[in-house]
Structure 1
Amino acid sequence: MRWDVLQEPLAAQRGRNSPDSTRDWRRIAYLVHLSRALDAMEEERLVPEKKVLYQFSARGHDMAQILLGERLTDPRDATCGYYRSRPLLLSLGVDVADALGSSMGRAGGYSDGRDIGVVFNYPNLAGASALPMCGGVGAQYTPTAGWAQAIEYYRTVLGAEGHDDAIAVVLGGEASVATNGFWAALTIATTQKLPMLFYIEDNGLGISVPSSFQTPGGDIAANLGSFGGLKILSGDGTEPAEAARMIDEAVAHVRGRNGPCLLRLTVPRLQGHSFQDTQSYKSEEVVAAEWARDPLPKLRDYLAPIVDSETEWDEIEQQARADAEAARERAEARGVADPETVTRHVFFDGEIQTMGGQYSLGYASPVCTDQPQPEGQRINMVTAIRRTLDHEMSLNDRVVIFGEDVGPKGGVHAVTLGLQQKYGVSRVFDTSLSEEGIVGRAVGMALAGLVPVPEIQFRKYAEPATEQINDCGSMRWRTNNRFAAPMVLRVPGGFFKCGDPWHSQTNEVAFVHTPGWMVAVPSNAEDAVGLLRTALRGNDPVIFFEHRAMLDHAWARRPYPGDDFALPFGKARLTRTGSDITIVTWGAMVPRCEEAAEGRSADVIDLRTLMPWDREAVLASVRRTRRCLIVHEDLQTAGFGAEIAAVVADEAFMDLDAPVARLTMPDIPSPHNPVLLDWAVPSVDRIRAKIDELVGF
């Protein structure tokens, strides 16, 4: 500590206002000391001993964060921070041994050693919770906006009690205001007038890059001065009275249902970006100026009227140090999680997560059957999906549908046509043109217990949401089942009449390679109903891939299978039986494979889901037919067919009478001209020729 050199003379402080009596200032002082003790312990002992591998000091940011946490008192408040937000977690009441033990990668804590210790989460059933933060800068904003929108949904649509004062608070540094997530969340919060507080800690540097590279002039508050629907406050986060007053004003504004607020507080970063950062990019003068703004000595002088003596202040500090040391002992006693458990909780395995999704709130799925009860004439896949969404919305008022153009227009593929008119703009609504915002807000809504059904208009358009998709999928695993965000992400894709690189992409394998997501690829109306109903009543995030060519394809039409029909994931359909070859396929290739197999003796297997996929059905068929052909629309290199081929080669090699073969698109984007497209996509003739080649091998 450098109080003796850097504090202002005590006499200079006497003119300041006395401490606000509505706050527990001794607890605030204790928590600041505790945060500093943990930082010092990590830097001086645990990092050199290699017991902590990632360390980010919160010195300089700590006091204002704790002042903020003191005001998050509603049980339905939620906050989402970033890697320098441990002081806020301490103020919310997180177990200090959890905080320190998580940094040490020990069992229990935030993740059971699965994630970096500064990637926080805190499912606080007795008070404000800390939503699972992510490792990526700016990824915290849109899920927080989703939580804020869920607050409004519970309050205005469901009429649930106890949501009138709840707010969502997101923390970010000044560098994060340049990210897509920040701007997407800002648009959502302001256009929807959400109870959301943007808390920006401006220390002037994103690692070594000055804030003037993140926003003109380095002051996001000044630059947002004319942004509609947003209250803006800006001040010094190192002055106790000023920081407390501005935090109170910001929180009161948002709690008062006046719309969102952005509070920018300037704070010093008194250490490097991380422990490894030597700050060589700072001059000695800059470092000295930062230490001169240290909020801790300012807090001591501000509390002089109520902290009676240096002895009492020292006792607070010593108690914090002792508690930090006791927490270290408890954390180190925990040991490391059993490596055999590290594969658990990728998907829901029967143990319900602490927070997130409808199951954590007591949901019980209605009784389902996998036996269809055909009703009426054949319907196309568009109608089947719409009817299933309609029925599930009628049963479950937590289901909400949103995306670009899904409202009055009914979606660019007409899947949601009429649903907004029936269920209202609060349950079926259009969004801004931001896939990051669509999926990110869905994450926050799912964490709050809703069942979001976001739509991405075309497969290629999912790319801007990749970070949110990845973070959502890994959430259950990386929080060790503390949190999960089940949703159904509808993604149309594939060719239709013609192709092009922007609307006709499939690339389902990218979703399969994202841990935690289940992936459905129905080829017909009946399967679409069964898989969608299972997804909507399930407890995992699901990619529901709607192939554009099959939405109104005559072959894909089936009678509606009934309101209780639901299909298990990972169970393929054998659409044709034979003895000479096994053909494995999905989506738009199923009818082509069936047609190609006419006059031949072949098993045709429609996988229906790619995660999980029915390995047993494929292997059983291959062992009987002794030949395997995999047909898919996606590219050959690293396509999902390669995974199937590898499993067949590994587990049924001695049963094969011919090489495992794949028939796919070449490694090119989807061409636009129909002649070029027909050449690129596996055709009936090419599939038939490949069947004959393998059977004659």
Structure 2
Amino acid sequence: MLQALSKQAPDPSPATAIEWEKVAYLTLLSRELDHLEETELIPGKQMLYQFSARGHDMAQILLGLQLTGRHDAASGYYRSRPLLLALGVDPAEALGSALGRAGGYSNGRDIGVVFNYPNPHGASALPMSGGVGAQYTPSAGWAQALTYYADQLGRLDYASDIAVVLGGDGSVASNGFWSALTIATTQQLPMLFYIEDNGYGISVPSTTQTPGGNIAANLAGWQGLTLYDGDGTSPPEAAHLIQTAVQHVRERRAPALLRLTVPRLQGHSFQDTQGYKDADTLQKEWQRDPLPKLKAHLVPHVLSESAWQALADRALADVKRARTQAEARPLAEPESVLQHRFHDGDLQKMGGQYPQGYVAPPTTQHAQTGGQRINMVTAIRKTLDHELSINDRVVLLGEDIGPKGGVHAVTLGLQQKHGASRVFDTSLSEEGIIGRSVGMALAGLVPVPEIQFRKYAEPATEQLNDCGTIRWRTHNRFAAPIVVRIPGGFFKCGDPSHSQTNEVAFIHQPGWKVAVPSNAADAVGLLRSALRGNDPVIFFEHRAMLDHSWARRPYPGDDYALPFGQAHRCREGEDITIVTWGAMVPRCEEAAEGYGADILDLRTLMPWDRDAVLASVRKTGRCLIVHEDLGTAGFGAEIAAVVADEAFMALDAPVSRLTMPDVPSPHTPALLDWVVPSVPRIRKKIAELLGF
């Protein structure tokens, strides 16, 4: 249904009347903030970035005042400050963040316009990202969490709350938009897509982003989506459309898209001179300024001229007061930038299960050793099954993980046992899988997304990066502890698309813990720690080890958990240290037969056990690092650098690495066997180092 309402659309009924005086004050407040920044703070070099909301402001405020649900959440972008003001954010907080002062949205770590607002007593603003379109899929995840709490956990206080995502005419061309649209409509989630169409993505016209320049018109045939379209500068029309759209999502528990046309009355950012717009275009945009229209709508029918002026005077005074308070804040201490890369004792305000009161069951590092040896597939499945059974916040999602049980059979039978609301298939979008998981984690669930193969994670790179940095860039206001299961590496054969390892890419993205177990028992212990932890984790499942006979171990027990950053010494020796992980561990053990090798299986690469490696090298005087990933910039280079820096005087031979050459994983077994470190090649390298 496409609703195009005229400019003469009536005001809402008295039962849902708009607080027009509040709308007027907040719009004037937003204008004064923009004016201060553009005329004083930016020219005075007190601010580095500024994105004016002029033209977008009135409609955003109308929207924000409709977000009255206890668990409502909005995800905006860099032009969304008016919405934040409507949600109750103090202008001093907004200015303090824009000025890069201590506290605020990020403690000076992120651009001041990239907001977040954890609000335990009302609508929150989810952590924004500077990436265009990155806000859509986390919003879908929040919406799905609302339905999960209401329908599966019986939390009626979630039953009428909604998720709102703000975007522009440029972002509707992004992968995130289309992925979130698919999620919201196939799952019928309570999610409102609020599209502010100002006609330009920086300088690119909307007709380049969308055929005809109207995303609402183009979606007219999209099933499961109610559409609204109109003028965001007309106070009665914008109010009516916003209220109608929000009410639809609340009452129908179904998605809607609201497109409002608005003018962008300043450049994309302060530095943008808008030279791509001619004078006639600029004049027409200023003629659509919603502020004079708002005044004409209210004065004299709702407010007198003097009352309007009083609101304007109050807004100016409040901005001056906010500036004084913001400038009084100190700059963040430089060394504080190292805080909150991971959970370091202080609990985040929102995100993950711990702020919701979760208490982890007791664990042990002592493994049960009796019983049948099981493969890694079975061990991971048993761990997931147990954690699903004892923690109703845990959910599994990914492509083919439902009835099929995953392409590697890890989740076989879990949907039948725990239901499709807890173990469910997703659309074919890795950005959607990870972004949705982020939103669910922000809402307090424990999502366990599966990416079918390592290389398939590439389309989700932005969401993975954003997820890892949420705690740091919000200064511990938010966190999104998800556990991403990723099979990878060679199997019986290889190929460039399914056999990649490249664990180092995740290690290089701040905020992620990375586990690479080599056997079934370690997989159980590390996965359980991840599921009960408070940080995002990449759990790398090596394809060659999922059913490898060497990797089979007795199930270590339902309470078994291993700490991250603690290597396992597979073999004691005095002559050479061998550092390895994953599928190379059994190869190194076999190759070291007859030698006095100290073999360390790192088990986790972030954090990694530096102390164990350095202590071993100081004992043996020699170090060989063996891994499957490429040599150039592989993680072995980091280990070698640390050993050279901190144990150089103990070395009797150069630090050496044995890795794949810098080529993708080849397909045929003959080529694969030549590039992956083999037992004979490892053994030869050991002999070379011992003979140095």
Question: Same fold per TM (> 0.5)?
Answer: yes
Q: Does 1:74 align with 2:69?
A: yes
CA–CA separation in structure 1 for the residues paired with 2:681 and 2:239: 72
Amino acid at match of 1:607: L
Of 201, 206, 210, which aligns to 1:206?
201
Of 581, 586, 607, which aligns to 2:581?
586
Q: CA shift at 1:17, angstroms?
A: 5.2
Amino acid at match of 2:201: G
* Paired residues of 1:307 and 1:313 also in contact (CA < 8 A): no
* Paired residues of 1:392 and 1:399 also in contact (CA < 8 A): yes
Q: Does 1:623 align with 2:618?
A: yes
CA–CA separation in structure 1 for the residues paired with 2:618 and 2:665: 34
CA–CA separation in structure 1 for the residues paired with 2:162 and 2:179: 18
CA–CA separation in structure 1 for the residues paired with 2:10 and 2:257: 25
Q: How does 1:226-375 map to 2 (within 5 A)?
A: 226-375=221-370
When structure 1 is superposed on structure 2, of 418-427 and 311-320 the one drifting more is 311-320
* Paired residues of 1:498 and 1:677 also in contact (CA < 8 A): yes
Report Cα offsets for 1:137-181 as digits up to 9, x if no partner. Answer: 000000000000000000111111201110000000000000000
CA–CA separation in structure 2 for the residues paired with 1:582 and 1:17: 79
CA–CA separation in structure 1 for the residues paired with 2:452 and 2:337: 35
Q: How does 1:204-603 map to 2 (within 5 A)?
A: 204-603=199-598
CA–CA separation in structure 1 for the residues paired with 2:300 and 2:71: 35
Q: Does 1:173 align with 2:168?
A: yes
Amino acid at match of 1:201: E
Report Cα offsets for 1:523-565 as digits up to 9, x if no partner. Answer: 0000000000000000000000000000000000000001100
Q: CA shift at 1:312, angstroms?
A: 1.5
Q: Does 1:115 align with 2:106?
A: no
* Paired residues of 1:19 and 1:303 also in contact (CA < 8 A): no
CA–CA separation in structure 1 for the residues paired with 2:303 and 2:88: 26
Of 655, 672, 676, which aligns to 1:677?
672
Amino acid at match of 1:568: P
SS at match of 2:605: strand
Q: 1:16 to 1:650 in 2, by over 3 A?
A: closer
* Amino-acid identity (%): 74
SS at match of 1:599: coil
- What corresponds to 1:30 in structure 2? 25
Q: How does 1:44-83 map to 2 (within 5 A)?
A: 44-83=39-78
CA–CA separation in structure 2 for the residues paired with 1:325 and 1:490: 50
CA–CA separation in structure 2 for the residues paired with 1:163 and 1:501: 45
* Paired residues of 2:434 and 2:460 also in contact (CA < 8 A): yes
- What corresponds to 1:607 in structure 2? 602
* Paired residues of 1:18 and 1:305 also in contact (CA < 8 A): no
Amino acid at match of 2:547: D
* Paired residues of 2:161 and 2:250 also in contact (CA < 8 A): yes
Aligned-pair Cα RMSD in Å? 1.0
CA–CA separation in structure 2 for the residues paired with 1:237 and 1:257: 24
SS at match of 1:552: coil
- What corresponds to 1:193 in structure 2? 188
Report Cα offsets for 1:71-94 as digits up to 9, x if no partner. Answer: 000010000000000000000001
- What corresponds to 2:3 in structure 1? none
* Paired residues of 1:97 and 1:327 also in contact (CA < 8 A): yes
CA–CA separation in structure 2 for the residues paired with 1:693 and 1:18: 84
Q: CA shift at 1:23, angstroms?
A: 1.6
- What corresponds to 2:85 in structure 1? 90
SS at match of 1:444: helix
CA–CA separation in structure 1 for the residues paired with 2:83 and 2:592: 63
Of 632, 643, 651, which aligns to 1:648?
643
SS at match of 2:437: helix
Report Cα offsets for 1:269-323 as digits up to 9, x if no partner. Answer: 0000000000000000000000000000000010124444322211111110110
Q: 1:51 to 1:650 in 2, by over 3 A?
A: same
CA–CA separation in structure 1 for the residues paired with 2:477 and 2:674: 49
SS at match of 1:273: coil
Calculate the TM-score normalised by the size of structure 1: 0.97
Amino acid at match of 2:512: W
CA–CA separation in structure 2 for the residues paired with 1:194 and 1:585: 45
* Paired residues of 1:32 and 1:62 also in contact (CA < 8 A): yes
- What corresponds to 2:121 in structure 1? 126
Report Cα offsets for 1:208-261 as digits up to 9, x if no partner. Answer: 000001010100000000000000000000000000000011001100134100
Amino acid at match of 1:654: M
Unaligned runs of 5+ in 1: 1-12
* Paired residues of 2:574 and 2:620 also in contact (CA < 8 A): yes
SS at match of 1:515: coil
Report Cα offsets for 1:46-85 as digits up to 9, x if no partner. Answer: 0011111010000000000000001000010000000000
Q: 1:391 to 1:576 in 2, by over 3 A?
A: same
- What corresponds to 1:7 in structure 2? none
SS at match of 1:401: strand
